[in-house]
């Protein structure tokens, strides 16, 4: 499919409308990256993807240390990774990426019934991807959690992209044990998912694990000032 000037214009206007929807036109870097990827790859923003974006932007997220507007960069980046780095063009997988943390971070009692109406094909995977943070350091629980994810190719692809987006951020955590456990989780569980569902990227998991481990702790302000 060739992206015509009219389609490019439509992408631009949709991007602007999403910004207005979120916060009076505020710039969202993840949103820009996603639309740049879609534009470059001639990937259409379908009605389903549009619905997922609008629904995602309308939620009030409770993420420690992040405002809703800051948080939404993450699902946009995860969707962009699937498009640009993993070559995924499945519409529902992109929708799942945009919504993947919604059950964990949105506390509305209506969220599940609403999802069942708006995105019925995604509800099972969304339930599977929801992690119980109180048990995230429990080895038995995490083994079970990732085993369930591995049964769904769509959920597995989104979890892989999710962890790829987060892995370098762990270097900003001062807790050495937390950094170590996160890298081990990435290498073991994400490595297993990648080997099964995205084998072309499997060697990258070990490489990134080694790189991040060697980086140790990075002071966030110093790092971003240097780049």
Provide block-wise average pLDDT over 10 residues at a time, the chain (227 residues): 43 60 58 83 89 90 83 92 94 97 94 96 98 93 98 98 92 91 95 96 93 89 69
Q: Which residues contact 127 (CB under 8 A, 6 or more apart)?
A: 103
What number of CA atoms fall less than 13 Å from residue 67's CA on the CB side?
Answer: 5
* pLDDT given at position 11: 55
Q: Is 66 helix (H, G, I), strand (E, B) or coil?
A: strand
* pLDDT given at position 3: 34
Domain extents in the chain: 1-130, 131-227
Q: What global pTM score does this model have?
A: 0.87
User: In whole angstroms, how large is the CA radius of gyration of the chain?
Assistant: 18
Question: Rounded to a whole number, what is the distance in angstroms from the first to the last CA of the chain?
Answer: 37
* pLDDT given at position 6: 44
Q: What Cα–Cα distance (Å) separates residue 120 from each residue in 112, 126, 127, 172, 202?
A: 10, 10, 12, 37, 31
* pLDDT given at position 16: 62
* Positive or negative torsion for Cα 194, 198, 200, 204: negative
């Amino acid at each position: 499919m060739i992206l015509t000037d009219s389609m490019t214009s439509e992408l631009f206007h949709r991007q602007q409308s999403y910004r207005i929807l979120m916060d009076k036109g505020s710039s969202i870097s993840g949103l820009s990256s996603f639309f740049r990827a879609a534009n470059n790859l001639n990937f259409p923003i379908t009605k389903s993807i549009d619905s997922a974006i609008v629904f995602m932007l309308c939620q009030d997220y409770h993420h420690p240390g992040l405002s809703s507007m800051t948080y939404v960069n993450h699902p946009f980046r995860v969707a962009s990774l699937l498009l640009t780095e993993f070559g995924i063009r499945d519409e529902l997988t992109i929708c799942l990426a945009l919504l993947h943390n919604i059950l964990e971070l949105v506390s509305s009692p209506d969220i599940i019934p609403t999802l069942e109406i708006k995105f019925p094909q995604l509800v099972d995977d969304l339930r599977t991807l929801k992690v119980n943070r109180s048990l995230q350091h429990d080895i038995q629980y995490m083994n079970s959690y990732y085993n369930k994810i591995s049964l769904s190719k769509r959920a597995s692809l989104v979890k892989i992209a999710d962890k790829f987006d987060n892995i370098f951020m762990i270097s900003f955590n001062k807790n050495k044990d937390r950094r170590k456990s996160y890298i081990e989780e990435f290498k073991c569980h994400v490595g297993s998912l990648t080997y099964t569902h995205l084998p072309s990227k499997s060697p990258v998991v070990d490489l990134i694990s080694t790189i991040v481990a060697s980086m140790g702790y990075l002071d966030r302000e110093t790092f971003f000032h240097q780049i």
